[in-house]
Structures are given as structure tokens and as C-alpha cells.
Amino acid sequence: MPLVRIDALGCDTQRLQALGRAVQEALGDAMGIPEDDHFQILHGHDGQRGLVHHGTYLGVPRDDGIVYVAITLRGGRSAEQKRALYRRIAELAWEYAGTEPRNMFVVLTENTDADWSLGNGEAQYLE
């Protein structure tokens, strides 16, 4: 059960949806996440009301094409699965949305079964 948030500068609805598709498909390919386990928050920024910073930290030359992907998911994936996820997101974002791999900034945040309620005020993963 990942929850995905995608923030992108100068991004219309079509491109946001393509980025969301890329991330969802990559989660399936790299981590076996089912296709219908699909929870995303997509947000395009106009550069006026919110700031989206980028730079060259760790030698990666990012620009205004930057896309931030924050994925919250239950823990337990290996470092190899995570590396495969990052690679696959970059590949598919390029293919589906024309976003250069250097502009894909991805962060994973892991938690436990007790940290999720999927509705009805219940902790479904603890049931």
C-alpha cells in the first residue's frame, strides 16, 4: 500500500497523469505492488505560489523540469528492489512524460502496518 505524492514545476494535467502512470507501473515492476493498489496525490506548481528548488547537489544537474516523488510504504523492501524502483521510475517518466532521468527526485519513507487506516476508522493491516 504505497501512497505517492508527485510535485512538478510547470506541469499540466496530462503530464502529471503520465508521471503517475510511470510511478505506479514502476512500483509494480520493481516491488510487485498490485495495479489496483493505486493511491496518488498529483500536484503541478506554477512557480509563483510555491517554490520548487533544484540545483546540482551530488553532481546531478537538475533544472525546471524537476519532479519530486515521495512514496510512503510499509517497510521490508531490499536495497536492490529500491534501486530497481528508482531506475524504473526514471525510465518510464522519460518514456511517458518526457521527463529527463536527471530531474526525477525520489524519496521513500517506510512505516509499519499500524501506521495505515484505509478508511472506516480501521487499521486494516492489523486486522
Catalytic residue among 2, 34, 61, 101: 2
Q: What pLDDT score does 47 carry? A: 72
Prediction pTM value? 0.93
Residue type at 59? Answer: G
Grid cell listed for 122: 480501521
pLDDT of residue 59: 92
- Our answer to whether residue 61 is catalytic in this structure is no
The pLDDT tens digits for 62-95 are: 988 999 999 999 999 999 999 999 999 999 999 9
Residues of the chain with confidence (pLDDT) below 50:
none
Contact (Cβ atoms closer than 8 angstroms) between residue 109 and residue 71: yes
